[in-house]
A and B are shown apart, each in its own frame.
Chain A
Amino acid sequence: EAGVTQSPRYAVLQEGQAVSFWCDPISGHDTLYWYQQPRDQGPQLLVYFRDEAVIDNSQLPSDRFSAVRPKGTNSTLKIQSAKQGDTATYLCASSPGLGANYAEQFFGPGTRLTVL
């Protein structure tokens, strides 16, 4: 079974530039998460979807960040105007959503973003 895939693996930007991150979850997983993991910290939830619907985006800085999952499969996270404080690894995870292990999450390799 293929795991969660993310691209790009690395991104380096100047402040003010835009960047998009792409995630392909495990086939059949209806729940998809985006996390921000600053260096030496735990993952912090930005947004999560069940199918194409946003369930919780309360921690997503809505003035500059956006996330979509239009067909309930792949997802894109976009930063419109990056700031140095956005420097972090962006992790995508998916989970089956049903059954005994409904909350177990499978993580992708992450995109390491550096904003200069």
Chain B
Amino acid sequence: GEKVEQHESTLSVREGDSAVINCTYTDTASSYFPWYKQEAGKSLHFVIDIRSNVDRKQSQRLIVLLDKKAKRFSLHITATQPEDSAIYFCAASISNTNKVVFGTGTRLQVLP
């Protein structure tokens, strides 16, 4: 089955800098790639996604890039703010299913 690997387990950046979190997946049938954020003591909530028909998507300070050939996708957070500090999970879903496989999470710390 699908496996999603999240390469950075922790990441520290200075406030205002950019943060990049990288993920890879194994199943070429995956076509939907959401990202979720988990703040301390809270549950996950959706932040942004990308589908396989595009290779870039932006929502305000969040940019997702998808390289289907390399089976790699990444989340870029620009102009980081303290409230961006959280655990970020990447995930992949195979076309025509609702099943999502999550990565292991990246703990992002935005330092003042």
Say which size band chain A's interface belongs to: 20 to 34
Task: Confirm or deny: B61 has a beta carbon within 8 angstroms of a beta carbon on chain A.
Answer: no
Query: What residues on A are CB-neighbors of B49 within 8 Å?
Result: 101, 103-104
Task: Give the contacting residue for B34; candidates A40, A42, A104, A110; CB below 8 A.
Answer: A104
**Count of B interface residues, CB-CB < 8 Å:** 20
A15 within 8 A of B: no
Number of A-B contacts (CB under 8 A): 54
Task: Given A42-B89, A104-B34, A109-B42, check contact A48 B99 (CB 8 Å).
Answer: yes
CB–CB B44/A97 < 8 A: no
Chain B residue numbers with a CB within 8 Å of A106 are: 45-46
Chain A residues with CB below 8 A from B59, complex form:
none
Contacts of A43 in B (CB 8 A): 44, 89, 102
Name 30 A/B residue pairs within 8 A (Cβ), A-sorted: A31-B98, A41-B104, A42-B6, A42-B89, A42-B103, A42-B104, A43-B44, A43-B102, A44-B102, A45-B99, A45-B100, A45-B101, A48-B98, A55-B98, A56-B99, A91-B43, A91-B44, A95-B98, A97-B98, A101-B49, A102-B98, A103-B49, A103-B93, A103-B98, A104-B34, A104-B46, A104-B49, A107-B36, A107-B43, A109-B43
